[in-house]
Amino acid sequence: MILGMRTVTYHTPDLAAGKAFYSAFVGHEPYFDEPFYVGFNVAGFELGLMPDSKTGSGPGGTTFYWGTDDLDVEVVRVVGLGATIAQPDRGRRRRHPHGRTPRRLR
């Protein structure tokens, strides 16, 4: 069962500019600020910025993370709906395979 959206990350070619913009946008500084990731708590949800000079924002530059009680069951379910797994779960502390929306919806 999907529990709701948890995190959205934006890839940005200029992390400092992204941090300045989103600090002004959400009205506060990030709670996490490192060269590899900047994180804001926005009403209980995570807004993250990741440095990426190649992707940037827009299509392919935004990642959403969904919460679930059972990741393995959900992966099977969404693949059955037509999604594809672009990068499998790496089995680390926080599990998160990377999926793609069905091609007809992109």
Domains of the chain, with CATH numbers?
Answer: 1-68 (3.10.180.10), 70-106 (no CATH)
Distance, CA of 45 to chain centre: 11
Instruction: Tell me which H or E stretch contains 75.
Output: helix 71-80
Specify the pLDDT at position 72: 82
The pairing of beta strand 2-12 with beta strand 45-51: parallel
Does the reported pTM lie above 0.85? Answer: no
CB 93 within 8 A of CB 106: no
Quick: pLDDT tens for 64-98.
677 778 878 888 887 887 777 766 666 655 565 55
- Alpha carbon separation from 66 to 23, 25, 40, 63, 71 (Å, rounded): 24, 23, 17, 10, 10
Distance CA 12, CA 46 (A): 16
